Amino acid sequence: MHSIRRHLVWLVVAVIGAFALGTVALARGESINALWVVVAALCTYLIAYRYYSLFIADTVLGLDGKRKTPAHRHNDGLDYVPTDKNVLFGHHFAAIAGAGPLVGPVLAAQMGYLPGLLWILAGVVFAGAVQDFIVLFISTRRDGRSLGDLIKQEMGVVPGMIALFGTFMIMIIILAVLALIVVKALAESPWGTFTVAATIPVAVFMGVYLRYIRPGRIGEVSVIGFVLLMLAIFGGQAVSQSATWAPMFTFDGKALTWMLVGYGFIAASLPVWLLLAPRDYLSTFLKIGTIIALAIGILFVAPTLQMPAITQFAQGNGPVWSGNLFPFLFITIACGAVSGFHALISSGTTPKMLDNERHARFIGYGGMLAESFVAVMALVAAACIDPGVYFAMNSPAALVGTTPEAVAQTISGWGFSITPDVLVQTAKDVGETTILGRVGGAPTLAVGMAHILHQVVGGQAMMAFWYHFAILFEALFILTAVDAGTRAGRFMLQDLLGSFVPAMKRTDSMAANLIATFLCVAAWGYFLYQGVVDPLGGINTLWPLFGISNQMLAAVALLLGTVVLFRMKRDRYAWVTMAPAAWLLLCTLTAGWQKIFSPDPKVGFLSHAAKYADGIAQNVLIAPAKTPEAMSRIVFNDRLDAALCALFMFVVLSVLVYSIRSVLAARASGHPTVRETPFEPMPVSVAS
């Protein structure tokens, strides 16, 4: 009786969730309220957490609360500190949530909100949260080692090296695609450009303040920085309305690209306390604050979803990105459903601070559920704006035209009726000259957030403020990621090159550092420039590459989990990681294959290259290329992207082969072959 009553409340949650999900899925023709989506998501998370994560914790992994964690074993008060689980949850969540869960769902909304929502929910429950949880567990049982080390230890040195190299290439693509989002948001926008540029002197001031004036007073300097940022937004408005100042902050995409590349090089070479650290404080706190504000806004405003549940683009051929629902939806929404990059965080600082092994469930599985909710909110924000506005912002000019009249006509022809006046008025509302062709997801999200938040604070007059606040918030942590990522890439590259040229390994050598930084910036800068001049908007090329590589890293992490489960002799539960790993391998390898070999030039790199190569051979110019040189550049870039895609496929396939070998060896052995740090009991004072 007692045990039934214990499950009764969860049964109620399940019924409410099922009802909400049914309402969302079966609504046809009429618009539904966003709260149905929120309720469906929250109930799914609660049930998954209560039952599936408990099953993984107790039965699959056998978490042991009496086992000493690295935080207790190596307690030094610095890196290894037993930490309250709620406090550590905040740390972990802040480390995993970035631009990814905000952008992917916005791009996926072109198929309607339903396919994206279902994938976010199913993906996080069975793949994403499982990956984060299991990697955190594996790393905690091995003194908090990193993913690369864990793969080396459990599978061998060669797959470890391959995975590290793959991680480096993924980093380059991520930096390029993030920088592209900033470029697309700031192009021809003096308000946005001024505001984002102003964050540099603000951060430098904070850095000097923290080092020399009031050392270490993070709270107080963050408040000062926040006030200055808000002033920068209003300053940007004044700049955009001034006839003398506005042109000085108006740049096209190419100019912004060069500035960003220069910025990346300088920022990654400066001492960390001057620019990187203080801006990281601002971007972290702003990120957490904005996510909470958006959640409150959605609950308070309860917006109606304007986007249909499913659009005709679910059949493929969408304007935002090309390709069919399978496999491309599953790589377009990476973060929020499942993200390989989290494996690096779950094997980074978090396992060194776990007070008790059993907390891994709340922090690993629960943390990823929280990020998934951020993705759901981004999807809601994108789906609650007028679909005509959504497609006008996200369709490349080559497809829909460049004037409001042409764009409105094309998009109305697709069945999303919109007038040129609405497009012009929306731009005016958010304080911009145009919203056309603002691809990349961030500006769309900003319009959606402004649409929600201005109904809570400020009314119509504050719409432009909220739009630029959202742009600032995204640009701020993207710039932090560009800066930190360039540094991380530099260290990886120095490590890698150091194997051939020992002098490159010396991180105390100015020349070696500058060369490695330059190579790193040049690598992502190349892909960024290619994306900016891409006639189809760049996102169409770079986002799938990012999605494929990120999901492949997730597959690698889940394969590691599978190997560990077999080595623990828990063969009968290995499906917990094998099933999501198989699904991700299927999606990413199919997507990779199609990106290389699809005969549709909008999808396949090689057929696109062939189209332009034929043009060169026959001396015909193919729009939008204006010169034969531009055409050969397109051909070269297409082939480069195809090669990169093939490289990613090689990385994941070779890790798969090594995993199978390790699993077979583990099965052949009669006893567990897992290599954990030997068991030590928790000290009596903390065992509870």
Report the interface residues with another protein, using CB under 8 A.
75-79, 81, 83-84, 86-91, 94-100, 171, 174, 178, 215-216, 218-219, 272-273, 276-277, 280-281, 284-285, 288, 334-335, 339, 341-342, 344-345, 348-349, 353, 480-481, 484-485, 487-492, 546, 550, 688
Instruction: Give kind and range of the element (H or E) at residue 442.
Output: helix 442-453
- Residue 284 beta carbon to another protein: minimum distance, rounded to whole angstroms: 5
Q: Is the dihedral of CA 349, 353, 356, 360 positive or negative?
A: negative
- Residue 6 beta carbon to another protein: minimum distance, rounded to whole angstroms: 23
Q: Closest CB to another protein among 455 and 513?
A: 513
| Token code pair at residue 622 | 């193919």
Residue 446: Cβ-neighbour burial (10 angstroms; 0-12, 13-18, 19+): buried
Q: Which residues pair with 33 in a beta bridge?
A: 304
| Token code pair at residue 510 | 């100015």
Q: Closest CB to another protein among 3 and 688?
A: 688
* Residues ≥6 apart with Cβ < 8 Å to 515: 504
- Residue 341 beta carbon to another protein: minimum distance, rounded to whole angstroms: 5
Q: What is the CA radius of gyration of the chain?
A: 25
- Residue 594 beta carbon to another protein: minimum distance, rounded to whole angstroms: 23
Q: Closest CB to another protein among 93 and 469?
A: 93
Give the 3-state secondary structure of residue 334: coil
- Residue 624 beta carbon to another protein: minimum distance, rounded to whole angstroms: 29
Q: Closest CB to another protein among 507 and 669?
A: 507
Q: Is the dihedral of CA 586, 590, 593, 596 positive or negative?
A: negative
Q: Closest CB to another protein among 42 and 95?
A: 95
List C-alpha distances in Å: 597 to 19, 184, 233, 634.
Answer: 42, 29, 46, 17
Q: Closest CB to another protein among 218 and 422?
A: 218
Q: Closest CB to another protein among 336 and 431?
A: 336
Give the 3-state secondary structure of residue 461: helix
List C-alpha distances in Å: 239 to 119, 189, 377.
Answer: 42, 10, 32
d(CA 589, CA 591): 5
DSSP state of 681: B
Q: Closest CB to another protein among 137 and 341?
A: 341
Q: Where are the alpha helices (DSSP H) in 48-143?
A: 54-55, 70-73, 85-96, 100-108, 113-123, 129-140
Give the 3-state secondary structure of residue 180: helix
DSSP state of 132: H
- Residue 206 beta carbon to another protein: minimum distance, rounded to whole angstroms: 12
- Residue 239 beta carbon to another protein: minimum distance, rounded to whole angstroms: 29
Q: Closest CB to another protein among 121 and 334?
A: 334
User: Do residues 490 and 523 touch, judged by C-beta distance below 8 A?
Assistant: no
Look at phi and psi of residue 599 and say left if phi exceeds 0, alpha if psi is from -120 to 50, else beta.
alpha
- Residue 430 beta carbon to another protein: minimum distance, rounded to whole angstroms: 25
Residue with tokens 């003398």: 244
| Token code pair at residue 57 | 């914790």
DSSP state of 217: -
- Residue 679 beta carbon to another protein: minimum distance, rounded to whole angstroms: 22
| Token code pair at residue 541 | 């090329």
User: Do residues 399 and 410 touch, judged by C-beta distance below 8 A?
Assistant: yes
- Residue 216 beta carbon to another protein: minimum distance, rounded to whole angstroms: 3
Nearest to 293 by CA among 383, 374, 182, 372: 374
- Residue 276 beta carbon to another protein: minimum distance, rounded to whole angstroms: 5
- Residue 488 beta carbon to another protein: minimum distance, rounded to whole angstroms: 4
Q: Closest CB to another protein among 455 and 480?
A: 480
| Token code pair at residue 33 | 């309220």
Q: Closest CB to another protein among 335 and 521?
A: 335
Q: Closest CB to another protein among 84 and 600?
A: 84
Q: How many Cβ atoms are within 10 Å of 60's Cβ, its own excluded?
A: 23
* Residues ≥6 apart with Cβ < 8 Å to 621: 615, 627, 628, 631
* Residues ≥6 apart with Cβ < 8 Å to 546: 170, 173, 174, 177, 334
Q: Closest CB to another protein among 417 and 507?
A: 507
- Residue 103 beta carbon to another protein: minimum distance, rounded to whole angstroms: 9
Residue type (1 letter), 166: G
